Amino acid sequence: MWELVKAGGWPMLPLLLLGVLALAIVLERFWTLRRNEVLPPGLGQEVRNWAARGKLDPSHIQSLRGNSPLGALLATALEARNRPRDQIRERIEDAGRHLVHRMERFLNALGTIASAGPLLGLLGTVVGMIQMFMGILDHGVGDVNQLAGGIGKALVCTATGMIVAIPALMFHRYFKGRIAGYVIEMEQEASALLDALDGRPGVMNNAPRGAGAPSGAAPVTVKG
């Protein structure tokens, strides 16, 4: 392995660094974008039941906001519940854009690695070929087998660039699709909450101060 790194020359160092960075981003996004962290099971139904009972104390809404991205979206709808429906939707869409930006954290960097990897590998190969042909110009062709070996070593950078870029591109597309699926489900939960608010005029009023959370409100907890 070390011999291949030496054969590729100095462009191998940034390629290896890009590979390590891409791996770190993929692992971090897998951990952060777990389904239970983004869309806690049963949270949408719990919030709808919570709203139907009029338990809309500000402390409960704040607790919901810190629960998860879905909780933050539903908390935005609850905070704007006294506004017209179209204004509530605007607030939800604005909050959704911020949540998507947060969920797509580091994905631009992963896409950049996928694009830059092959180019950097090609640069290393071109540099290696230039060095090899400059040697031929000074010392002649010499051994043909040695020339072929030199070309093979120069192509190491291109292969390394592809090895770094292909998984980075695949995971970039995968995470984009995963986030898009989450967004659709979050929109459905927000629409269901709006329907619940429209169908029960009583939930438009704040609950008395100090009202407790519903008995099944375990998912609505602040995460430290």
The predicted structure's pLDDT at residue 63 = 85
Q: Is residue 17 part of a domain?
A: yes
The structure tokens listed for 56 are 């809309």
Q: How far apart are CA 41 and CA 45, in angstroms?
A: 9
Count the domains in the chain.
1
Q: SS3 of 163, please?
A: helix
Q: Residue 148's pLDDT is what?
A: 61
Provide the whole-model pTM: 0.76
Q: Backbone phi, then psi, for 163, in 5-degree steps?
A: -60, -35
Nearest to 204 by CA among 96, 84, 90: 84
End-to-end CA distance of the chain: 43
- Confirm whether 28 is domain-assigned: yes
What's the rounded Cα separation, in Å, for the pair 186 and 94? 13
> What residue numbers bound the domain in which 44 lies?
2-200
Decide if 58 is inside a domain. yes
Q: Residue-wise pLDDT tens for the chain (224 aa)?
A: 666 666 666 778 889 999 999 999 999 999 999 999 999 998 888 888 877 777 677 887 888 888 899 999 998 888 888 788 888 888 999 999 999 999 999 999 999 999 999 998 888 888 777 777 776 666 666 655 556 666 767 788 888 899 999 999 999 999 999 999 999 999 999 988 888 887 644 444 444 334 434 333 334 443 33
* Domain-located, residue 207: no
How far, in whole angstroms, is CA 162 from its chain's centroid? Answer: 22
Residue 42: how many CB atoms within 10 A of its CB?
12
In a domain, 84, yes or no: yes
Q: Which amino acid is at 100?
A: V
Task: Please indicate, yes or no, if residue 173 is contained in any of the structural domains.
Answer: yes
Is residue 61 one of the residues assigned to a domain? yes
Q: Let me know: does 109 contact 24? Beta carbons within 8 Å.
A: no
Task: Tell me which residue has tokens 């040695």.
Answer: 146
- 68: closest CA among 114, 21, 20, 103? 103
Whether residue 175 lies inside any domain: the answer is yes
Q: If you write DSSP's letter for every residue of 41-87 in order, what string do you get?
A: TTHHHHHHHHHHTT---HHHHHHHHTT-HHHHHHHHHHHTTTS-HHH
For residue 213, what pLDDT is reported? 41
